[in-house]
Every structure is written in structure tokens, then in C-alpha cells.
Amino acid sequence: MKINPNVLRKKVIDMVVAKQSGHIGGAFSMAELTSVLYEDYDIGGKDKLILSKGHAVPIIYAVLHELGQISDDDLDLFREIDSPLQGHPDKLRLPLMDATTGSLGQGLSIAIGHSLGKDLRGEDGTVFCVLGDGELQEGQVWEALMYYPKTKLNNLICIIDWNKGQNDGYTKDFSIMYDNLEERISSFGWHTNLIDGHDMEQIRNIVNFNRDFSHLAEDDKPSCVILDTVKGKGVSFMEDPAWHCKVPTEEEYEIAMKELGV
């Protein structure tokens, strides 16, 4: 099924407005990635998605709703106490999720566990792990990055949503990881690609290319795709780190829905 990223963005805004709480900016920066992964892969089946930047989960709830895997009634439970649709992914309450995340920095380690498990069981499928760029300030990310190339496994793709923002502002103001990200990840033994994270064809081509791991035999390295994205992408005034976790007013809601079209 074809998925329109702006349809997902509109659902995210509706969820956040309905509960007057939730994360828009980091959800919007990965709308195109989410669309490609759910169009092309068996996420929740043989392929796994570990959303390390767990606060962006509204975009996942939006795509699950678009695909008919969760209902209108389910969406109404967003951010309610004990609901399956927590503000961060909760695998126990919503088995469609492949991992419980939200405490940043842990997703890649969980994804590596799935990669090892798939290898031990001789299972097909790919493990996708999506990290935020602010999240790269967590040390555990670098422990995982330095370990995985040593496994020589090739069923995991690490994806970094390089949207330049985090809860507190611009990532460049908090970390040297803002610059030369490709070079830094490569130095840990990964094969890296930096692409336009809002171009679905580029995402599709590079993810499919890296999923055909045969070419990686040459350099024997795992794959890390860095998505050059804009936090809050799709609505002009939301393209600012201030929209990490902010609720639009009624007037802003109308403008946003108009800009998103569809």
C-alpha cells in the first residue's frame, strides 16, 4: 500500500491536539522513512523496527492506523494511563512494537540483540534501528557502535535521523557530533551513506541496496544510513527545535493542516 507521509503528519497533529501532549518535531522528520519501511518491509513480522528515539512513536501509531493495524478507538487511547498507545513505545502493552524504548541511547543495543538472535535461529529478515541525533550524546550508543562490526553479522541497518535538533535546542550547541557524522561513524567500522531523509526514492534505493548485503562482503562492514532531515518537516513554523514537544493552538492547527494538504 502506498503511504503519503503528510497523511501521517496530519494524524500525528490530531493525536497531539486531542491529548494536548506529544512529540511532533521528531515524528515529522522521520515521516518519509516510516512510509518507506512500512511500504517495503514486513515490520512487526520478520523485519523489526527498533525505534530508539521512542518519543517519535506518534508517527508509528499513524502508519499503523493508516494500514488498518490499529483502530480509531485505539488512537483515542494515545497517552492515556495504562493504554497500549503510550507516549513512548511499549512492547508489552502493544505487541505490534518490537521494543520498549524511550530512555534514549538503548535502542541500538536492543537491535543488536535481535540481530544476534536472528542469526542464532537462522531467521530471515532485517532489523532496522532508528536513532535520533541528540541521542548520540548517550554513551551506550557508542558502545554498541564499536561492538557490532566485530560480530560480522549483516542483518541490521542502523539509521540516524540527523534532524539537527533535540529537546533543548540545536544539537550543534550540545555536541561535536553535529559535524562530520559520517566520518565519525565510519571510524567505528561502519559503512555509511548520507542521504536526503525526505526523499522517499533515495531512502528506498539506499535501504534496499544496503539490505542486499552481498556487496558488503567486499568491505565486511555493517551499514549505517544517515538521513539529512529537518525537525518538524512539513509545516513551516514547526521546522524549529522548539516544536520537539509542543502543542499547536487552534489557529496554528488550521495553518498546519492547510500546509500539509492531502
Residue 134 near Mg ion by CB under 5 A = yes
Taking CB under 5 A as the criterion, which residues in 140-179 touch Mg ion? 163, 165-166
Write the DSSP symbol of residue 39: H
d(CA 216, CA 77): 43
Report how far residue 255's alpha carbon sits from residue 246's, in angstroms, rounded to the nearest whole number: 15
Binding region for Mg ion (CB under 5 A) out of 82-90, 131-139, 182-190, 249-257: 131-139
- 181 with 150: CB under 8 angstroms? no
Applying CB under 5 A, does 132 fall inside the site for Mg ion? yes
* 202 CB-near residues (< 8 Å, 6+ apart): 195, 196
Which cell numbers in the block locate residue 32?
A: 518519509
Nearer to Mg ion, 94 or 158 (CB): 158
Rounded Cα distance between 82 and 47, Å, is 27
- For Mg ion, the closer of residues 52 and 192 by Cβ is 52
Under the criterion CB under 5 A, does residue 241 sit at the interface with Mg ion? no
| Residue 248 binds Mg ion, judged by CB under 5 A | no
Choosing from 133, 138, 228, 239, the residue that interacts with Mg ion (CB under 5 A) is 133
Looking at beta carbons only, is 136 or 157 nearer to Mg ion? 136
Q: Does 5 bind Mg ion (CB under 5 A)?
A: no
How would you write 185-239 as a 3-class SS string? HHCCCCEEEEEECCCHHHHHHHHHHHHCHHHHHCCCCCEEEEEECCCCCCCHHHC
229 binds Mg ion (CB under 5 A): no
Least separation in angstroms between CB 53 and Mg ion: 7
How far is it, in rounded angstroms, from Cα 107 to Cα 53?
A: 8
Stretch of residues binding Mg ion (CB under 5 A), selected from 8-16, 88-96, 130-138, 143-151: 130-138
- CB-wise, 53 or 221, nearer to Mg ion? 53
CB of 167 to Mg ion, least distance (A): 9
Minimum CB separation of residue 231 from Mg ion in Å reads 6
Pick the closer one to Mg ion by CB: 118 or 244: 244
What are residue 50's DSSP bridge partners? 129
Site string for Mg ion, 85-124 (x = CB under 5 A): ----------------------------------------
Closest CB 233 distance from Mg ion, rounded Å: 12
Q: Where are the alpha helices (DSSP H) in the chain?
A: 5-19, 25-28, 31-40, 58-66, 72-75, 107-121, 139-151, 181-186, 200-211, 250-260
8 A C-beta contact, residue 190 and residue 172: no
Task: Establish if 25 lies at the interface with Mg ion (CB under 5 A).
Answer: no
Which residues bind to Mg ion, rule: CB under 5 A? 132-134, 163, 165-166
